[in-house]
Structure 1
Amino acid sequence: MTEKTVDYFYTLVSPWTYLGHAPFVAIARRHGVRIVHKPCDLGAVFAVSGGLPLGKRPIQRQNYRWYELQRWRDFRGVPLNLKPKFFPADATLPGRMTVAAQSQGLDADTLAGAFLKAVWAEERDIADADTARAIATECGLDGAALLEAAKGEAAVAGFDANTEEAKRREVFGAPFYVYRDEPFWGQDRLDLLERAMSGTVEPYRLPA
């Protein structure tokens, strides 16, 4: 039987990825679906998909974001600093560490969740190498080895390949899940994603 997988595109500084990460992992495990982590450069994806960095969005969209963050923080029951000390931060290094972890068969689910929590609940700078190493170590991984692997050609190429794949597969935000070649954008689509994983509906497709 073919293994069921879901491709998971994100950046490790996305509050929406943070809010949805734990329930997404739980849903995938409940349905026996393996998560394929694809951290990527969301700024480069925005450049080809019409997205804008937060500071360049219209004020009405920026203001509405505050309401939604508070609503979903309370709905999910997780801590979230509305204005974290280290946001925005360059997520390239922890992204590459996550790429390396997945390629080695390590627990990328837990590692990605720890990086997200570090930004949005713990006031930690995941762009800092010492901090990133410490977070990986706290996850029970060899933080020093992962940090070194993140500097290597394979992790660099893997992260860049994720970014190019995101462009090719029409990703335009984070988190973005692709299951059975059907895209789901946003942690607020998790109910629909679980419905698909349950096998009770056929994949939806673009009209011919």
Structure 2
Amino acid sequence: MAKVCQYFFAPQSPYAYLGHERFVRLAKQYGVQVEIKPCDLGKIFGVSGGLPLAKRPPQRQAYRLIELKRWSEFLQLPLNLQPKFFPVPGDPAAKLIIAARLAHGTDAALAVTGAIMRAVWAEERNVGDADTLAAIATECGHDGKALVKSSETASVQAEYERHTDEAIAANVFGAPWYVVEGEGFWGQDRLDFVERAFAR
């Protein structure tokens, strides 16, 4: 029986972007089934003591930029440190990912997720905009307009809220967050440990 990894993230998170492709490769390499769970990081911060970027002290904001630059160079992933469309609300993109999973399965949703993350951090695109999201989904081989429409339904909203509640119940307080056999791992810099858990 395949191992399962719950993958909690906010699509606008730079660290989720930095870890996404590597995580997907590892899951495929070890035959791990991914449960993709985009969630509302603002709501999670509200109950876990986290602060949105604008409310963090200046020294934390400055160090964040240093770390993002380091990781971008180390992983050889393009990343605009201060993208044109950021901060950006994550809800519309998260719900598009959920709609993609419901309509086309987890692999399709993971591909759409990667495309959305690249759009924010490497392509200067506004993922808070419905037309941009439709274009991204279309580029991934789907009917983008139909997917955006389905992302706005009550059933997708309910799924988004459920993911967020599950994240809070699992003591998630940041993104990305991976749960393997009940063990949580916070951050793309923990993927070496995630890989060890996959290999166990």
Decide: shared fold, TM above 0.5. yes
Once the 2 structures are TM-superposed, how far is the Cα of residue 90 of structure 1 from its aligned partner?
1.0
Deviation at 1:111, TM superposition (A): 0.3
Aligned to 1:150: 151
Q: Which amino acid is 2:172 matched to? A: V
Cα distance in structure 2, aligned partners of 1:98 and 1:158? 11
- Which runs of 5 or more structure 2 residues have no equivalent in the other structure? none
Matched residue SS, 1:104: helix
Aligned to 1:11: 10
How far did 1:62 drift?
1.1
Q: Which residue of 1 aligns with 2:101?
A: 102
Q: Which residue of 2 aligns with 1:91?
A: 90
Tell me by how many angstroms 1:145 deviates: 1.6
Per the alignment, residue 205 of structure 1 pairs with none
What's the secondary structure of 1:108's corresponding residue?
A: helix
Whether 1:177 and 2:178 are equivalent positions in the alignment is yes
The residue type equivalent to 2:41 in the other structure is L
Please say if 1:55 is aligned against 2:54.
yes
Counterparts of 1:63 and 1:100, CA distance in 2: 36
User: Secondary structure of 1:126's partner?
Assistant: coil
Q: Report which of the two has the higher share of helix.
A: 2
CA distance in 2, matches of 1:102, 1:173: 22
Amino acid at match of 2:76: G
The AA in structure 1 aligned to 2:103 is Q
Normalising to structure 1: TM-score of the pair? 0.93
What letter is aligned with 1:89? V
Alpha-carbon shift at residue 89 of structure 1 (Å)? 0.7
Amino acid at match of 1:34: Q
Residue 110 of structure 2 aligns with an amino acid whose one-letter code is D
Whole-Å separation in 1 of the counterparts to 2:130 and 2:43: 23
Deviation at 1:104, TM superposition (A): 2.5
Which moved further from structure 2: 99-108 or 159-168? 99-108
Equivalent residue letter for 1:63: A
Match of 2:78, SS state, is coil
Partner SS state of residue 89, structure 2: coil
- The offset of 1:148, in angstroms, is 1.1
1:55-204 → structure 2 map (5 Å cutoff): 55-106=54-105, 107-199=108-200
Give the aligned residue type for 1:15: P
Task: Tell me the percent identity.
Answer: 51
The alignment status of 1:46 with 2:45, answered yes or no, reads yes
2:22 pairs with 1:34: no
Please give the alpha-carbon distance, in whole angstroms, between the structure 1 residues aligned to 2:4 and 2:138.
27
The TM-score with structure 2 as length reference comes to 0.96
How many angstroms apart in 1 are the aligned matches of 2:126 and 2:38? Answer: 17
> How many corresponding residue pairs?
198
RMSD between aligned residues: 0.9
CA displacement, residues 97-155 of structure 1 (integer Å, 9 cap, x when unaligned): 11111122431111000000000000000010000000000011121221111011211
